[in-house]
Amino acid sequence: MHLDFSLILVVTTLATGLVWLLDKLIFKKRRSVDPLKENKPGLVVEYSNSFFPVLALVLILRSFLFEPFQIPSGSMLPTLKIGDFILVNKFTYGVRLPVINKRVIPVNNPKAGDVAVFRYPLDQRLNYIKRVIGVAGDKISYQNSVLHINGAPLDRQLLEKNPTESPKEELWQETLGDSRYSVYNYPTPTYNFPEITVPEGYYFMMGDNRDHSNDSRFWCQATPQNETGCLIIPGYANNRGAPLVMGFVAEENLVGRAFAVWMHWPKLLSLPKFSDIRTIE
């Protein structure tokens, strides 16, 4: 069972806020009218008066400013490790209403190279984190482990073969837009795709751990073209004759831009570490 923390926070804040408001307008005056009775609020009112300001502050911070997330998988290695706790800027891509995630005040749009958190198109109860590879209108292909954007290969430099954290792979540095970051690749290419065009209102996402990431290349392969951003690429088919289906993230699925790691806590019984605080490139 998946718990929607945003919904729980909104409902709890509204409930305690309603009791707090009724106490200020009605209950408190009634208590002061009869001096013979103990001038003390009931348990529900007392708890609501205590928790509502805290819940309201958390709701505002989490919904409109910054939200913490924990990295549960290795799809963004080496940039983000399993157990990293990150901060996501919620207003970078526009002010959005909590729960329904509707953008009400446009601010900026994602840029190629950003590390973005978004609602997984096939199950919007889940949050995913990947790197923005292409924005609307970009033409993208992936050949021999090299990304090509609008006909030009990305600037790419080999940093290390058989790195300690990921033996049998290679550590590369890529430059995309204003971002310079590291990725892992197997020495032998494992997956290519032909040139595709990112449709209007959508983004193409990939993990930095290129051969171990469920991203725009893969999550739609068993899904026909539909409104979740799974689009058939015309003119291409795999060796079984199935069409090439790519996944794109719609603008309304965006949550925010990941910008910092503030703690690393890989296991529940281990001690959290604050020695690896850093910005996310």
Measured in degrees and rounded to the nearest 5, phi and psi for residue 114 equal: -65, 150
The domain 111-257 is classified under which CATH number: 2.10.109, 3.30.1380, 1.10.1740, 1.10.3470?
2.10.109
Q: Which of 48, 90, 130, 216 is catalytic?
A: 130
Every domain of the chain and the residues it spans: 5-64, 111-257
* Among the listed residues 110, 123, 120, the one whose alpha carbon sits nearest the alpha carbon of residue 75: 120
* Among the listed residues 7, 4, 207, 8, the one whose alpha carbon sits nearest the alpha carbon of residue 123: 4
Is 275 among the catalytic positions? no
Q: Which helix (H) or strand (E) holds 249?
A: strand 249-250
One-letter amino acid identity for 142?
Answer: Y
Q: Which of 48, 63, 75, 145 is catalytic?
A: 75
Q: What digits encode the pLDDT tens for the residues 216-233? A: 999 998 777 777 889 988
Q: Which of 82-86, 123-127, 167-171, 237-241 has the lowest mean pLDDT?
A: 237-241
pLDDT at 234: 84
Residue 177 C-alpha from the chain's centroid: 20
Is 102 among the catalytic positions? no
Q: DSSP string covering 28-42, please?
A: HHHHHH-TTS-----
Report how far residue 250's alpha carbon sits from residue 215's, in angstroms, rounded to the nearest whole number.
14
Instruction: Say if residue 6's pLDDT is above 70.
Output: yes
Q: Whole-prediction pTM value?
A: 0.90
